[in-house]
Amino acid sequence: MKEKNAYEKIYDVIREIPEGKVASYGQVAELAGNRRWVRVVGYALHALPSGSDVPWYRVVTKEGKLFSCKDGSGYNIQAALLKKEGVKLAAGKVDMEQFQWRKRLL
């Protein structure tokens, strides 16, 4: 059986994040097997094809900040998708105390 690559491991973790919860890039990296993969998580999200089943919008910074791109469209899309799931934003950030997924390594 072929071993999964880093992106596949990252996508598997992100698919586990329940509706109405978020995880930080660092949390996803650690759960995927390497806590140093924080940037790799970002690269993996950037590489997602359009129409992917990976709920990318549930990944935020450790401070709860949303994705931002030059034209602001990523932030607006992410905010709308999170709001649809009941995740509230205050001052443009997610309250990590309230909405962070609590899964830990075994």
- The values of phi and psi at residue 26, to 5°, are -65, -40
* Structural domain range at position 94: 6-99
pTM, two decimal places: 0.90
Give the CATH number for residue 75.
1.10.10.10
Can you give the pLDDT at residue 74? 74
- Give the chain's domain count: 1
Q: Decide if 106 is inside a domain.
A: no
Q: Decide if 86 is inside a domain.
A: yes
Tell me how far apart the alpha carbons of residues 67 and 75 are, in angstroms, rounded to a whole number: 5
Higher pLDDT, 2 or 41: 41
Q: Decide if 1 is inside a domain.
A: no
Q: Decide if 64 is inside a domain.
A: yes
Q: Tell me the pLDDT tens digit for each residue of 29-49.
A: 999 999 999 999 999 999 998
| Residue 75 and residue 3 in contact, taking contact as beta carbons nearer than 8 Å | no
Q: Tell me the pLDDT tens digit for each residue of 63-82.
A: 999 976 656 667 788 999 99
Q: Decide if 60 is inside a domain.
A: yes
